[in-house]
Amino acid sequence: MGYHDTPERPESSEVKLSNSVAHGERILSGMRPTGRLHLGHYHGVLRNWVTLQQTHDCFFFVADWHALTTAYEEREIISQNVWDMVIDWLACGVNPNLATLFIQSRVVEHAELHLLLSMIAPLGWLERVPTYKDQIEQLRERDLATYGFLGYPVLQSADILIYGAAGVPVGEDQVSHVELTRELARRFNHLFGREPGFQDKAEAAIGKMGKKAARLYRELRRRYQEAGDDEALGEARALLENQQNLTVADSARLAGYLEGGGRTVLAEPQALLTHAPRMPGLDGRKMSKSYGNTISLREPDAQIEQKIRTMPTDPARVRRSDPGEPEKCPVFDLHRVYSDDDTRQWVESGCRSAGIGCLDCKRPLIEAVQSEVAPIREEAEALEADPEQVRQIIGDGCGRARDVAQDTMREVRSAIGLDYRPR
Ligand code: TRP
Ligand code: SF4
């Protein structure tokens, strides 16, 4: 792909959410431990987490089982990456006093919900998730013809539903997974949100109303269910409120029966699309480990300098005396992220008039990136020296996560009818 085929312009470095979730509500997100985090993770995800933790009940976790779905043979790598990643999160300002931080595989309830959801997940839905075929194409050197890989989004659904998350911050590529999560929740509620014999009990309750009221109830229910007539729904609810001879339970049943469903056991989450600017890498493409164009969050100053000094520039600027065009230069993309208007103007006129050299142009960037990374790197080094503290943070987080997950699983087992007792 040629450089600047798609001139994506980061408008501002502010992070926005397209669909906001009310303050205090639960937000959940996971990250696969795929290696050292870099500036792309910081600008794309972590700064957003740090903001969200101030206003929401945030659960952030290491999706180590998800990493296994595509890298099942890389045991040591995954285990090393898990701790490195947690340290990077903390070093960037993710705060364990505000957010719950945990590791997926340490809350085994995720696996139980994944199993139960897999019973009702239609194969066609999974095969149609766009990331399924894309990933198989992209990782052709790996054998992804596995049961676990097909189930990747079912596991993700379990991650989300087990915490009753209202919002899930994700990148564009993950929106289809949140959509699948919503569909699985709806299907689960439809299948299991009813008490045994719900329909019979509802019909019996109708029989307890007077003949005229019963006829009216059926008529209104039909109008709502067949034609989506909201007025009919309102009238039917009012009718129920005025029925003196119905028990509370029967009245609740008939209210549920109106809309067709029963109880909501699993809540449908919202995808929160992160509008972070695309973080340009050292070659102008998106910063990504697979392109080898990253600056890591632990990069030493000297290496930051070296990497930026050797960045490619506008290829038309061969000699110092040749004028250049910032719009055709990956270095200028970094100025869009790191520099103020004055500096950018200085670059634009200096480049076009050959008034500045490329190294002059890169100098303020080197300094800006160094001063962004230095405190993160230093904090990470301090945490590396204190593994006990990191273990403690994750231990606490796993405990809190487990409490929530266990509550949900009790509800889920009972809804499915798995809470058998000897009769
Ligand atoms: N699939 C996500 C990714 O690759 C990681 C993930 C796993 C996740 N479970 C999740 C993200 C639950 C949000 C919510 O980025
Ligand atoms: Fe790129 Fe700056 Fe050199 Fe112009 S002066 S080509 S913007 S590095």
Out of 314, 318, 359, mutate this one to test ligand 2's pocket (max ligand atoms within 8 Å of CB): namely: 314
| Cα–ligand 2 centroid distance for 376 (angstroms) | 28
Residue nearest to atom 7 of ligand 2 (CA): 326
Q: What is the pLDDT of residue 351?
A: 97
Digit-coded pLDDT (tens) for 42-100:
999 999 999 999 999 999 999 999 999 988 878 777 888 999 999 999 999 999 999 99
8: left (phi over 0), alpha (psi -120 to 50) or beta: beta
CB 161 within 8 A of CB 231: no
| Cα–ligand 2 centroid distance for 348 (angstroms) | 8
CB 78 within 8 A of CB 67: yes
Contacts of 153 (CB under 8 A, 6+ apart): 126, 129, 131, 132, 176, 177, 180, 181
* Dist. CA 358–CA 326, nearest whole Å: 11
Digit-coded pLDDT (tens) for 91-150:
999 999 999 999 999 999 999 999 999 999 999 999 999 999 888 888 888 888 899 999
Residue 342 CB coordination number (10 Å): 8
Write out residues with Cβ below 6 Å of ligand 1: 28-32, 63, 66, 156, 159-160, 168, 170, 174
CB 83 within 8 A of CB 36: no
Write out residues with Cβ below 6 Å of ligand 2: 313-314, 317, 324, 326, 329, 331-332, 347, 351, 356, 358, 361-362
| Cα–ligand 2 centroid distance for 308 (angstroms) | 12
| Cα–ligand 2 centroid distance for 328 (angstroms) | 9
Which residues lie across from 102 on neighbouring strands?
61
* Dist. CA 352–CA 324, nearest whole Å: 5
Give the angle 293-296-301 at the CA atoms, nearest 5°: 105
> Judging by DSSP bridges, how do beta strands 167-170 and 100-103 pair with one another?
unpaired
Digit-coded pLDDT (tens) for 299-334:
999 999 999 999 999 999 999 999 999 999 999 999
Q: Between these two residues, 42 and 423, which has the higher pLDDT value?
A: 42
CB 36 within 8 A of CB 298: yes
Residue nearest to atom 14 of ligand 1 (CA): 29
Q: Can you list the pairs that 135-143 forms with residues at least 24 positions away whose Cβ atoms lie under 8 Å?
A: 135/70, 139/70, 142/70, 142/71
What is residue 402's three-state secondary structure?
A: helix
Out of 27, 32, 178, mutate this one to test ligand 1's pocket (max ligand atoms within 8 Å of CB): namely: 32
Residue 45 CB coordination number (10 Å): 22
pLDDT-derived band at 17 (thresholds 50, 70, 90) equals low
Out of 331, 334, 356, 366, mutate this one to test ligand 2's pocket (max ligand atoms within 8 Å of CB): namely: 331
User: Which atom of ligand 2 lies closest to the CA of 358?
Assistant: 3
Nearest to 43 by CA among 340, 392, 376: 376
Residue nearest to atom 13 of ligand 1 (CA): 29
| Cα–ligand 2 centroid distance for 360 (angstroms) | 9
User: Which atom of ligand 1 lies closest to the CA of 177?
Assistant: 1
| Cα–ligand 1 centroid distance for 157 (angstroms) | 9
Digit-coded pLDDT (tens) for 286-303:
999 989 999 999 999 999
Nearest to 107 by CA among 56, 158, 53: 158
pLDDT-derived band at 19 (thresholds 50, 70, 90) equals low
Average predicted confidence (pLDDT) for the chain: 90
For helices 358-384 and 75-91, what crossing angle results, to 10°?
100
Residue with tokens 């089982």: 65
User: Which atom of ligand 1 lies closest to the CA of 66?
Assistant: 7
User: Which atom of ligand 2 lies closest to the CA of 360?
Assistant: 5
CB 184 within 8 A of CB 157: yes
* Dist. CA 163–CA 184, nearest whole Å: 15
For helices 130-138 and 152-161, what crossing angle results, to 10°?
130
Digit-coded pLDDT (tens) for 373-414:
999 999 999 999 999 999 999 999 999 999 999 999 999 999
Q: What is the pLDDT of residue 16?
A: 44
Residue nearest to atom 3 of ligand 2 (CA): 358
Residue nearest to atom 4 of ligand 2 (CA): 351
Strand (E) positions, 160-269? 167-170
Residue nearest to atom 15 of ligand 1 (CA): 31
Task: Give the H or E element holding residue 256.
Answer: helix 248-259
| Cα–ligand 2 centroid distance for 331 (angstroms) | 6
Distances in whole angstroms, Cα of residue 211 to Cα of each of 216, 218, 241, 245:
9, 11, 16, 13
| Cα–ligand 1 centroid distance for 63 (angstroms) | 7
Complete edge-to-edge strand list for the sheet that includes strand 167-170: 100-103, 57-62, 26-31, 167-170, 270-273
What does the pLDDT average to over 333-356? 96
